[in-house]
Amino acid sequence: MDVELHLKVQDLNARYVHAIDEDRLEQWPEFFAEDGRYRITTVENVERGLPLSLMYATSRAMMRDRINSLRNANVYESQRYRHAVSTPLIEPGSDGVVRAVTNFLVARIMHTGETTLFATGRYEDRIALDGQARFLEKTVILDSRQIDTLLAIPL
Query: In sequence order, what DSSP letters do the residues of 103-143 get, joined into one string?
Result: EEEEEEEETT--EEEEEEEEEEEEEE-SSS-EEEEEEEEES
Three-state DSSP class for residue 34: strand
Residue 81 CB coordination number (10 Å): 20
Give the nearer residue to its own copies in terms of CB position, either 59 or 120: 120
Give the nearer residue to its own copies in terms of CB position, either 4 or 34: 4
Give the nearer residue to its own copies in terms of CB position, either 61 or 110: 110
129 Cβ contact list (under 8 Å, min separation 6): 5, 8, 9, 96, 97, 98
Least gap, CB of 55 to its own copies (angstroms): 17
DSSP-derived letter for residue 87 is: P
Interacting residues toward its own copies by CB under 8 A: 1, 3-4, 6-8, 10-11, 13-15, 17-18, 21-22, 43, 80, 82-89, 101, 103-105, 107, 109, 112-117, 119-122, 143-147
Give the nearer residue to its own copies in terms of CB position, either 71 or 145: 145
Least gap, CB of 75 to its own copies (angstroms): 18
Give the nearer residue to its own copies in terms of CB position, either 64 or 126: 126
Least gap, CB of 77 to its own copies (angstroms): 12
Asked whether 119 and 147 are in contact (CB, 8 A), the reply is yes
Least gap, CB of 112 to its own copies (angstroms): 7
Least gap, CB of 108 to its own copies (angstroms): 9
Cα 38 to Cα 29: distance, rounded to the nearest angstrom: 10
